[in-house]
């Protein structure tokens, strides 16, 4: 009987720990006391809203970059991911996973002068620290069809849209913000902004309809 009682106490204790952990992390794994911005992106003029970037334009405070580098791979003659949003100060590791030579360079872009990181083979990688807000288009002079984008932002509150147009930005501190869209080809999908108020432990819905015209 004593063994059974101890087992019950142990199970109940585990259950309490699980409940506490779930409560502390907030709804859907979000941090307690923060909110979520989520919604759908609809588009006209392109096949799908995939790779549209949604981000908070400016958030109060300082946001240190992650200690670990962000990853940009070159695999099957494709840069992966197509759009890589990062916080200012983040180092990006450019890996070549193909059994052929690849090159990484970018022309002058928003906040960055042109640069060529060189050419390297399978399994090798080079790094670059992006310490200015802006964006660059990644190209490979060995394979001109390859293209990707690194977008350097002030804060970590961003999301890249999937094929269905859904997005979610978690762990946003309560407050009023300006949310902006970004697309790899701005002439096809014009950027839009919207004001949004975020409340603690709640989800705010914000949808966008994007096209060539505003």
Tell me: do 15 and 51 sit in the same domain.
Answer: no
Residue 24 has pLDDT above 70, yes or no: no
Question: Count of domains in the chain?
Answer: 3
Question: Are 141 and 164 found together in one domain?
Answer: no
Q: Cα 51 vs. chain centroid, distance in angstroms?
A: 10
pTM given for the model: 0.84
Nearest to 104 by CA among 93, 118, 122, 90: 118
Sign of CA dihedral 63, 64, 68, 71: positive
Question: Does pLDDT of 12 surpass 60?
Answer: no
Give yes or no: residues 55 and 128 share one domain.
no
**What tens digit of pLDDT does each residue of 159-192 get?**
999 999 999 999 999 999 999 999 999 999 999 9
Q: What 3-state class would DSSP assign to 18?
A: helix
Which domain range does residue 115 map to?
64-153
Q: Could you tell me the CATH number of the domain that includes residue 73?
A: 2.60.40.420
* 143 shares a domain with 71: yes
């Amino acid at each position: 009987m004593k063994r059974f009682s101890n087992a019950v106490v142990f199970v109940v204790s585990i259950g309490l720990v699980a409940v506490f952990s779930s409560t502390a992390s907030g709804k859907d794994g979000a941090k307690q006391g923060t909110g979520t911005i989520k919604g759908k992106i609809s588009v006209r003029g392109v096949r799908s809203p995939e790779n549209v970037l949604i981000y908070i334009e400016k958030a109060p405070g300082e946001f240190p970059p992650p200690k670990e580098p962000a990853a940009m791979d070159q695999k099957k003659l494709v840069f992966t991911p197509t759009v890589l949003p990062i916080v200012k100060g983040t180092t990006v590791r450019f890996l070549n996973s193909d059994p052929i030579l690849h090159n990484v360079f970018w022309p002058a872009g928003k906040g960055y002068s042109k640069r060529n990181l060189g050419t390297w083979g399978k399994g090798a990688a080079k790094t670059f620290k992006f310490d200015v807000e802006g964006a660059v288009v990644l190209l490979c002079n060995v394979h001109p069809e390859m293209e990707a984008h690194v977008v350097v932002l002030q804060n970590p509150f961003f999301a890249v849209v999937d094929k269905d147009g859904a997005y979610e930005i978690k762990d946003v501190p309560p407050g009023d913000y300006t949310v902006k869209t970004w697309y790899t080809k701005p002439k096809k999908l014009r950027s839009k902004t919207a004001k949004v108020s975020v409340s603690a432990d709640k989800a705010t819905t914000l949808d966008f309809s994007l096209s060539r015209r505003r």
